[in-house]
Structure formats: C-alpha cells, structure tokens
Amino acid sequence: MSVSPSAEVRAEAESRLAALATPPRALGRLGELGVRMATLQGVVPPRPLADPRLVIFAGDHGVAAHGVSAYPPAITGAMVRTFLAGRAGVSALARAHDVAVRVLDIGVDDDFADLDDEVRAALQAHKVRRSCAPSHLEDALTLDELEQSLAAGRAVAREEIAAGADLLISGDMGIGNTTPAAALVAVLCGLPVETVVGRGTGVDEAGLAHKQSVIETAIARLGDRADSPRDVLAALGSADLAATVGFVQEAAAHRVPVLLDGVISTACALAAEHLSPGCAPWFLAGHLSPEPAHLPALKSLGLEPLLDLGMRLGEGSGAVAAVPLVRSAIALLREVALLSDLLPPDA
C-alpha cells in the first residue's frame, strides 16, 4: 500500500517556489521538479540527493528466439559481464553523475560459471529461473514464478533503501524485452498493438510486422485474463520485468521516489500501478524513448518526461542522464534567495 505524497508539503513547496527571487514560473519545469522532489521527500526545501541508486534487472525472454530482436539472446549475458566491468553505456553515465549501479541476474539464460564465486553469488542472489517461455506459445511465467519475481524485486528495493537510497532507478537488460514491454502497454492501456510496437534494437520492416504478430498472438492467448494484472504479467512478462514491478512497487510503499527510464521501466511501472493503485505519485519520468509504447505508458501514469534526446538504450541510461536535472531542481529550491529578502520591508 502506498501513501499519497502530502498535499500540505506540496503547497508549502509551491509557495517557496513562487517566493524565490525569480519572475513567476521563470524556472519552468525545473521549478516544478523541485516542488515535486520536496513533496516526495516530505520536506521544504528538498534535501540534496545523497545516494541515488540504479538496479539493473537482467533476464532473457523466450520470444527472443522467435525473430523479434535484431540481436541474439547471448548478448544479454555478455552485457551483464559488461555492467560488472563498468563498461556499458549506463556505467559511464552513472560514474559521471555519482549513481551507484547494481546488476542482478533475475532470469538470464546463462549460469555465469566463469565469474568469481563471490561476484556470481551476488549477481544471482535473487535469480528466479533461466529465461522464460515464449509468450505467444505459452505463459511466460507460472503464477508461482511471478510471485517469486515480484518478491525478489521488493526485497531488492528494501535492501537498497536500508542501505541509504534516496532515489531509485530501475534498469533493464534482456534481448527481446521491448516485445513484452509493448505487449504490457497494449493490454494495460487498451491500445491496438500496431500503435505500440516498435523497432527496439532496430528490426527491419519485416521484423517489425513479425514482432507485431507475435505480440498479437500472445495477447489473444490471454483471453479473458486481460482484466487481471497478475495474469497479464505472468502471461506476457518475464522474471526480470516482474522483479522490476516489485521493485518500483516497494519503493513507492516506502515513499522513495523512483526515476523511470524508457519503455521497459515504464511498462513495469504501469503494471505496478495496476497491481497496487497509488504507486504512480512516487514516480518521475527521466526521459522519452522513441519506442512508440513509451509515451502512452507515461501518459497513463500522468508523467511528463524530463529529457527527450532520442535515447533508446535502456539499462536505466535515460533516467541516469536526468539525474543532474533532479539535482539542479533541488539546488534551486534550496539555494535561491527569496524576493522578500532582497528588498527592505517598506520597499
């Protein structure tokens, strides 16, 4: 259960923004973001970000063996090793912006036997299974696996919060994962598949048409279970996506703001809101991905993305790129003088 952010703190933060030594609304959306952070933290002015943390939930997808991605599934495990080496796209951004990175193998089709025992144990501490079933042929997960995945994500959020996280970011790694993301958005927003299916890593025209038909078949298999968010997530999702759902759900329940990334992260946030309504006020949108499912998912959550840079990487990269904006917004609300302090009382 998520508690709503305080309306009183929001009003207080809005008053402070209006009283700053700037013309009205001159800080635009940065001003609004500062108000949002104050509201979510429950304090005016907001505290500087002390410990933003990214968790990358990695997993493979049965559909990836069926022509929905421009890349082979073996890339998932290879990229997990790249995160561990600090050499992925998001690794560079996270170093630049002081964001801690943790990568977890929730459902990668790899046993990582080559890794050092300690590294491997940490990586697989919350592993649910290897890959998942192709959702156009059978449910991706059993309901037991779904519960295990949700619980894994919730446990990870609690671990990160107990360790001091004051902003949580979820990252994704899993070849084929734009397929379940689009499927979830289509069902949860009630949109035709052709309006939400995208090229992901860059499938060609024929690949796109095939991806659409895979998603349509998977949704047709759902039948009358489309009204149950748990069934939707088990049938169309995956262990790594369900863990992400649990992660953002638990962050909201603990009143820790979540900065969302691209289409995968946002599809999971949408599923979290359907599973436990009231999470969405704790979410912020880092950026807008060109994947067509992203915008409707953000709109359905009532979120406006901070950045629109054409990024379509995933990994949490678009959210991490937006962290400096969050820091800027907080600094403005904390450090700018009040107009009333500038002038003598009788001016």
Ligand X SMILES: Cc1cc2ncn([C@H]3O[C@H](COP(=O)(O)O)[C@@H](O)[C@H]3O)c2cc1C
Out of 53, 61, 136, 294, which residue is the one contacting ligand NIO (CB under 6 A)? 294
263 binds, among ligand X, ligand NIO, none (CB under 5 to 8 A by kind): ligand NIO
Out of 312, 320, 332, 333, which residue is the one contacting ligand NIO (CB under 6 A)? 312
- Does 314 participate in binding ligand NIO (rule CB under 6 A)? yes
294 binds, among ligand X, ligand NIO, none (CB under 5 to 8 A by kind): ligand NIO
CA 226 – CA 191 distance, rounded (Å)? 13
Q: Which of 8, 216, 315, 335 is catalytic?
A: 315
- Which stretches of the chain bind ligand X, using CB under 6 A? 69-71, 75, 79, 172-179, 200-201, 313-315
Task: Report, in Å, the least distance between residue 100 CB and ligand NIO.
Answer: 20
Q: Which of residues 260-289 bind ligand NIO (CB under 6 A)?
A: 261-264, 289
Task: Report, in Å, the least distance between residue 93 CB and ligand X.
Answer: 12
> Residues 327, 48: contact at Cβ < 8 Å?
yes
Task: Report, in Å, the least distance between residue 72 CB and ligand X.
Answer: 9
Tell me which residue has tokens 């649990």: 246
CA 90 – CA 79 distance, rounded (Å)? 11
Stretch that binds ligand NIO, among 51-59, 99-107, 258-266, 298-306 (CB under 6 A): 258-266
Task: Report, in Å, the least distance between residue 316 CB and ligand NIO.
Answer: 9
CA 87 – CA 102 distance, rounded (Å)? 13
Out of 93, 101, 291, 322, which residue is the one contacting ligand NIO (CB under 6 A)? 291
CA 216 – CA 184 distance, rounded (Å)? 11
The DSSP secondary-structure symbol of 287 reads B
Q: Which residue is nearest to ligand NIO (CB)?
A: 262
Has 315 been annotated as catalytic?
yes
Tell me which amino acid residue 272 is.
A
Toward ligand NIO, which CB reaches closer, 131 or 266?
266
Toward ligand X, which CB reaches closer, 70 or 122?
70
The greatest distance separating any two alpha carbons of the chain, rounded to the nearest whole angstrom, comes to 76
Tell me which residue has tokens 């809101």: 273
Instruction: Spell out, one character per residue from 224 to 253, where the chain touches ligand NIO: x when CB under 6 A holds, - when not.
Output: ------------------------------
CA 244 – CA 153 distance, rounded (Å)? 6
Toward ligand NIO, which CB reaches closer, 167 or 313?
313
Task: Report, in Å, the least distance between residue 25 CB and ligand X.
Answer: 37
Token digits of residue 104: 């977890």
Task: Report, in Å, the least distance between residue 69 CB and ligand X.
Answer: 3
Q: Sign of the C-alpha dihedral, residues 259, 59, 89, 125?
A: positive
- Does 60 participate in binding ligand NIO (rule CB under 6 A)? no
The H or E element that residue 167 is part of is strand 167-173
What long-range pairs does 41-47 form, CB within 8 A, spacing at least 24?
41/166, 41/257, 42/5, 42/6, 42/9, 42/255, 43/9, 44/9, 44/12, 44/13, 44/16, 44/333, 45/13, 45/16, 45/330, 45/333, 45/334, 46/13, 46/330, 46/333, 46/334, 47/166, 47/330
CA angle 280, 145, 66 (to 5 degrees): 90
249 binds, among ligand NIO, ligand X, none (CB under 5 to 8 A by kind): none
Task: Report, in Å, the least distance between residue 232 CB and ligand X.
Answer: 19
Measured CA distances, 94 to 101, 169, 228, 237 (Å): 7, 11, 36, 27
Q: Which of residues 159-178 bind ligand NIO (CB under 6 A)?
A: 178
Catalytic machinery residues: 315
The contact set with ligand NIO (CB under 6 A) reads 178, 200-201, 261-264, 289, 291, 294, 312-314
